[in-house]
Amino acid sequence: MHIGFLNPQGNFDSSNSHLTGHPDFGGQLIYVREVALAMAQKGHKVDILTRQIIDPEWPEFAKPFDAYPGVDNVRIIRLPAGPKEFLPKELLWSHLVTDWVPNILKFYREEGGLPDAMTAHYADGGLSAVLIEDETGIPFTFTGHSLGAQKLDKLEPTPENLAEIDEQFHFKYRIVAERLSMNRSAVNITSTQQERFEQYSHPVYHGAVDVNNDNCFAVIPPGADSSLFSSETRSEDEEATYQLIEERLARDIAEERRDLPAILAASRLAPKKNILGLVQAYAMSQTLQERANLVILTSGLDDPLREEADNDLAEQGVLVPIREVVQENNLWGKISAFGLSDQGQEGLAATYRFMRQRRSVFALTALYEPFGLAPLEAAATGLPVVATQNGGPSESLREGDEEYGVLVDPQDPADIAQGLERLICDGQEWEYFAEAGKERVLNSYTWESTAENYLTLIEQIVSSPTERRPASLLPIHPYFRNPQLDNNISLEELSQLYFGSNNEVVATPSV
């Protein structure tokens, strides 16, 4: 089969540059790349369709075509959408309609053939798939990764502040695009049952999809790259990564503590990742402080506990309270935070192996984690895991009475501390979870199995593309056919979807 992956946000290249280095360059890009490569290994032709970016800040994304070394049947196809320079995803909506989708259709028509099916990722990929199917009849799957309604919930919207929130995040486009995507897709792919029944059942999506209709959904969990995240593998820069870690520990950790195990966190500096809760848990446990150091891997900053984030108010909002907890509890000499510069996934895997040698523990204390690939990657290398009970880890790290990691309440620092103590203080528990987590990943969470499940589903869709369609298709909003001010999606439409018809949105005053 010939399959197209729709992901307009960019950042696909042969070197996997800048992964997780920007909020738009997160885990979903790893997901798309790995599923595409695994499909290609099974003999299918795969195109990753993304946006061309001609910008001196992002030189890797300028060429119209790219490929992964040694892989002949995966193409990275970059097509223009709006201005040449990088744009955050919130500003792409109109350019998808006027430029990107027409450029995709033109490209394939000139090439002489369209893909058999598309798989769309995130709301912008979903909207693009809707428009392509409307023009060509090519069926598509929709993988949301995360949905706008849950993000909007966290911002605590009211009719009075909705305009201000939307001005920054453009939820009126995202949510209408998500409704269209999940309504018109041949099937919606989620990583967990919880994602299906909790996220897609949000009132904002009522009338778009029925979460109780099994024909509309398929649960396909992501995987870990077992060739990379393994206790036996060694990267080309393994020793250089080890040296970097040792240098940073020497910089931050008191000399007599440098051989202790570590509690390791690795994530972006985003409030939802709740690194603060982990630091608070460590601060309140004398047992943890006596037996382990706390190590935080970040992207971008080499010394985030001391240096300022460049013009990033969100990162500063995360770092300032962490520094306060460190200072108030005199954790200096027990905590280290640093980045791995440009070492990418290979450097991360090497870090996990380094930490495993010291009988360390991986911690993910996010307030909510839709799936949670990072703990599975850590587990694949033999690091036992303590993870949030909210979201995907509740399914991937527990099945019935079987435990493959320790689940904790991310909003309760005492519970986080107790979960960490369980592994740090008990050698038998550490050994059990190191082996159980590793076997869980190898048996149930590989990219090969993810790709196989996608392919089985796509083959069914191609053979009978309308069989899974809902009885009632939502109309495509006029703005998504011809984006103009006079047919723009209004705040009132967003307000009615979110609050219902009895609340009147208050517009932001003109400046």
In a domain, 486, yes or no: no
Q: For residues 396 and 413, what is the distance between their CA atoms, to the nearest angstrom? A: 22
In a domain, 10, yes or no: yes
**What pLDDT does 20 receive?**
60
**What pLDDT does 298 receive?**
87
**What pLDDT does 313 receive?**
60
Phi, psi of 467 (to 5 degrees): -60, -35
Reported as type and span, the H/E element at residue 130 is helix 122-136
Q: For residues 154 and 202, what is the distance between their CA atoms, to the nearest angstrom? A: 13
Nearest to 380 by CA among 234, 224, 222: 224
Same domain for 387 and 281, yes or no, is: yes
Same domain for 175 and 287, yes or no, is: no
Same domain for 293 and 417, yes or no, is: yes
Give 222's strand partners. Answer: none
Question: pLDDT, tens digit, for every residue of 53-90?
Answer: 999 988 999 999 999 999 999 999 999 999 999 999 99
How many CA atoms does the CB half-sphere of 470 hold within 13 Å?
A: 22
In a domain, 484, yes or no: no
3-state secondary structure of 263: strand
In a domain, 328, yes or no: yes
Same domain for 463 and 429, yes or no, is: no
**What pLDDT does 472 receive?**
87
Do residues 450 and 35 make contact, with C-beta atoms less than 8 angstroms apart? yes
Do residues 28 and 121 make contact, with C-beta atoms less than 8 angstroms apart? yes
Same domain for 18 and 47, yes or no, is: yes
The full DSSP string for 33-46 is HHHHHHHHHTT-EE
Same domain for 214 and 271, yes or no, is: no
Query: What pTM did the predictor assign?
Result: 0.81
Reading the chain (511 residues) residue by residue, the pLDDT tens digits are 999 999 998 778 887 776 666 666 666 788 899 999 999 999 999 999 999 999 998 899 999 999 999 999 999 999 999 999 999 999 999 999 999 999 999 999 999 999 999 999 999 999 999 999 999 999 999 999 989 999 999 899 999 999 999 999 999 999 999 999 999 999 999 999 989 999 999 999 999 999 999 999 999 999 998 889 999 989 888 999 999 999 999 999 999 999 999 999 998 888 889 999 999 999 999 999 999 999 999 877 889 998 765 556 667 789 999 999 999 999 999 999 998 866 678 999 999 999 999 999 999 999 988 888 899 999 999 999 999 999 889 999 999 999 999 999 999 999 999 999 999 999 999 999 999 999 999 999 999 999 999 999 999 999 986 665 666 899 999 999 999 999 999 999 999 999 986 555 555 433 3
At 440, which CATH number?
Answer: 3.40.50.2000
In a domain, 70, yes or no: yes
What's the domain range around 181? 2-147+171-223+449-471
Report the first-to-last Cα separation within the chain, whole angstroms.
53
Which of 391, 411, 445 is at the close of a domain? 445
Same domain for 456 and 417, yes or no, is: no
Nearest to 233 by CA among 221, 244, 222, 225: 225
**What pLDDT does 511 receive?**
32
In a domain, 63, yes or no: yes
Same domain for 195 and 296, yes or no, is: no
**What pLDDT does 236 receive?**
87
In a domain, 195, yes or no: yes
Say how far residue 493 (Cα) sits from the centre of its chain: 28
In a domain, 43, yes or no: yes
**What pLDDT does 510 receive?**
37
Overall residue count recorded for the chain in this entry: 511
User: Into how many domains does the chain fold?
Assistant: 2
Same domain for 435 and 455, yes or no, is: no
Same domain for 274 and 397, yes or no, is: yes
Burial 377-416 (b: 16+ CB within 10 A, else e): bbbbbbbbbbbbbbbbbbbbbbeeeeebbbbbbbeebebb
Same domain for 401 and 349, yes or no, is: yes
Same domain for 387 and 314, yes or no, is: yes
Q: Is 328 exposed, middle or buried (0-12, 13-18, 19+ CB in 10 A)?
A: exposed
Q: For residues 298 and 295, what is the distance between their CA atoms, to the nearest angstrom? A: 10
**What pLDDT does 299 receive?**
74
Residue 105: count other Cβ atoms within 10 Å of its Cβ: 15
Which of 428, 445, 462 is at the close of a domain? 445
Q: For residues 235 and 231, what is the distance between their CA atoms, to the nearest angstrom? A: 11
Which of 445, 480, 496 is at the close of a domain? 445
